[in-house]
A and B are shown apart, each in its own frame.
Chain A
Amino acid sequence: MVAFKLAFRNLFGAGLRTWLNVSVLSFAFVVIIFYNGYLDGWNKQAYIDTKDWEIGNGQLWHPTYDPYDHYSLQDAHAPVSGNIQKLISSDQLTPVLITQATIFPQGRMQNILLKGISPAQQIIKIPSKSLDTAGSIIPAVIGKRMAFAAKLKKGDNVLLRWRDKNGTFDAKEIQVVDVFSSNVSTIDNGNIWIPISQLQQMTGFENEATLFVVDKTYTAGNIDLWIYKDTHFLLKEIDDIIESKKAGSVLIYGLLLIIALLAIFDTQVLSIFRRQKEIGTYIALGMTRWKVIWIFTIEGSAHSILAILLGSLYGIPILGYLQIKGIPLPKTMDSYGITIGDRIFPSFSIGLILSTILLVVISATIVSYFPTRRISKLNPTDALKGKIS
């Protein structure tokens, strides 16, 4: 307790020097929390949006389906078996049929993925209900990115060309009946959604599907030839992006932290040099060398406690504001092909805050300890005379 009292008394006594160190360290502390909270918020948002809009609680894939190889789509489909049909009837999963096609908006050619979905499905948020229309023209829903790229809006007609199961061309007009707004670009960019029954009829893949999106009640795993892909697998891409971003961020706040720690280290070296007589007096009065090291180490690491307090003083209102209002992102981020919203709402968990506090305190303690090791070799008589070796 004496060590703490002494430490804080000395720190406050040092005046501006202490506050400069504390300010830099507090800034590093706030930046670490902000950046990690920003990435965690993005991650959380991406998880929720991707589950809501694309993957549900997992997917059942045809064995040859590869979302990164559009050429695989030609063979990646199979008839819906009786077992699967029962699950569809009980709303545990919904089929999606995917094929390649081309649209010709304003005389331009644009390759797209034509996806068939049941208008009655409620597992993912695609507004498939809008596809439940009566009429000769094929209804289609598209995302805002697709609408922007193809210069299409609700009510527009566009010519669609596709091939049936034998490779024979067919072409018809489709009508955009709805434009949805989603943060998940993979269901939007280059995608057109039409009723699955119509797509099955158009392609000749009667009662066939490429994949099924399952809901929370689905527990069966692999079924018939369909391979179950859980959310952990389907969200791996997002995890990888966030991991790489986090690795990059370590460099930014690591540098900041190093600068702050270097200042503490320098202060400690200076303190020991300037306070030799004080150190000699402590030892002469009967304090063990390790007790003196402890006092000086505590003094150094007390910077981190003050930094945390100062950081909290201005960090809580700033970060709290950002958490509520979100951080706006430039519009170009939309076209990067990653799941990201217009705004990112940072997520500052207790775990993040505690781990950052520990990081700052432990690293400050370590850098405070190293210069004090010289005390253990100190001769008290020389120290009292001001002769440090």
Chain B
Amino acid sequence: MKISLVLVITLLSFNLLGQSAIKVLEKVDKNMSSKNRILESTMTINGKRNSRIVVSKSWAEGTKKSFTEYLSPASEKGTKMLKLEGQLWIYSPSTDRTIQISGNMLRQSVMGSDLSYEDMMDDRKLQDLYMEKLIDREIIEGRNTWVIQLTAKVENVAYHSQKMWVDTARYVPLKQELYAKSGQLLKKMEFKDIKNAQGRWFPYTTTYKDMLKDGKGTEFKITSILFDQSIPEYIFTKAALKQ
């Protein structure tokens, strides 16, 4: 009788935890996404011998449309990137040509960083790709977090499973780990410098680290961000790349 009771309580708690995980993800999604945003950022790519800083300005609408213009260094200045409904184009001022990045090319690194074009391009919702499960609670840098385990429920995902640490009070991810099918940790993201921006908590610094290779990874720092602005529609067109 006692065993049955324990079993029922365990099953119920698992179910409740499962529901909570969905709700947590929904709240994270709500907090992190906006109708549109304009942000200026610096991306520090830490190599083995030296580091490079790439400054850019981005305009994004939802998760399907974004336009980025690289402002420095001189070698990258004027390079523009347009993501539109699952397609990606890059304009290079040195050749005055626009090329579409597709297929295997999406697996290449973005300007030598730890991020691939594919990482940038995947705009599908986590709930659509992964089964979520709240597996633990941890404290990260003094903040209470829920640890959510995400396991792929569809086949065409780059990472078979993920682990996400979400701030229980601010609904912002503080850490994310991406795993291979074998369980090997591949990439780690750390979200820091959480600030309240126009009523929502947002991480201003994100560190991407490829865990299989040496190095400090890539640091993405937002220098300014504006939500729900009026962005002219022509920004998200191929014509804007050459302007």
B-binding residues in A (CB < 8 A): 70-71, 74, 100, 102, 104, 106-109, 159, 161, 163-164, 166-172
Q: In the complex, how many residue pairs between chain A and chain B have their CB atoms under 8 Å apart?
A: 61
Looking across the interface, which residue of chain B has its beta carbon closest to that of A109? B213
- Evaluate whether A109 and B212 lie within 8 angstroms (CB atoms) in the complex, with A161-B180, A168-B160 already known: yes
Question: Which residues of B lie under 8 Å from residue A172 when comparing CB positions?
Answer: 182, 184
Looking across the interface, which residue of chain A has its beta carbon closest to that of B159? A169
In the complex, besides A109-B210, A168-B152, A168-B160, 10 extra interface pairs with C-beta distance below 8 angstroms are A71-B103, A104-B212, A108-B214, A163-B107, A168-B157, A168-B158, A168-B159, A170-B180, A170-B181, A171-B184
Question: Which residues of A lie under 8 Å from residue B213 when comparing CB positions?
Answer: 104, 107-109
Q: Tell whether B233 is near chain A: CB-to-CB under 8 Å.
A: no
Whether the Cβ atoms of A169 and B104 lie closer than 8 Å is: no
> For chain B, which range describes its interface: under 10, 10 to 19, 20 to 34, or 35 or more residues?
20 to 34
Interface centre among A100, A107, A168, A172, by most chain B C-beta atoms within 10 angstroms, is A168
As a 0/1 sequence over residues 157 to 191 of chain B, the CB contacts with chain A under 8 angstroms (1 = contact) are 11110000000000000000000111010100000
Interface of A is mostly: mixed
Looking across the interface, which residue of chain B has its beta carbon closest to that of A172? B182
A-B pairs with beta carbons under 8 Å apart, 11 shown: A71-B103, A100-B104, A102-B212, A106-B214, A107-B213, A108-B214, A164-B181, A168-B157, A169-B158, A169-B180, A171-B182
Q: Which of B105, B152, B156 contacts A71 (CB 8 A)?
A: B105
Of all A-B residue pairs in the complex, the 10 with the closest CB atoms, nearest first, are A107-B214, A171-B184, A170-B181, A171-B180, A166-B155, A71-B104, A104-B212, A109-B213, A170-B180, A169-B180
Question: Which residues of B lie under 8 Å from residue A167 when comparing CB positions?
Answer: 156-158
Interface of B is mostly: loop
Question: Which residues of A lie under 8 Å from residue B152 when comparing CB positions?
Answer: 168
Within 8 A of A (CB), among B29-65: none
Question: Which residues of B lie under 8 Å from residue A171 when comparing CB positions?
Answer: 180, 182, 184, 186, 212
Question: Which residues of A lie under 8 Å from residue B184 when comparing CB positions?
Answer: 159, 161, 170-172
CA distance A163 to B215 in the complex (A): 23
Question: Which residues of A lie under 8 Å from residue B156 when comparing CB positions?
Answer: 166-168
Question: Which residues of A lie under 8 Å from residue B210 when comparing CB positions?
Answer: 109
Question: Which residues of A lie under 8 Å from residue B186 when comparing CB positions?
Answer: 161, 169, 171
CA distance A161 to B185 in the complex (A): 11
CA distance A108 to B48 in the complex (A): 9
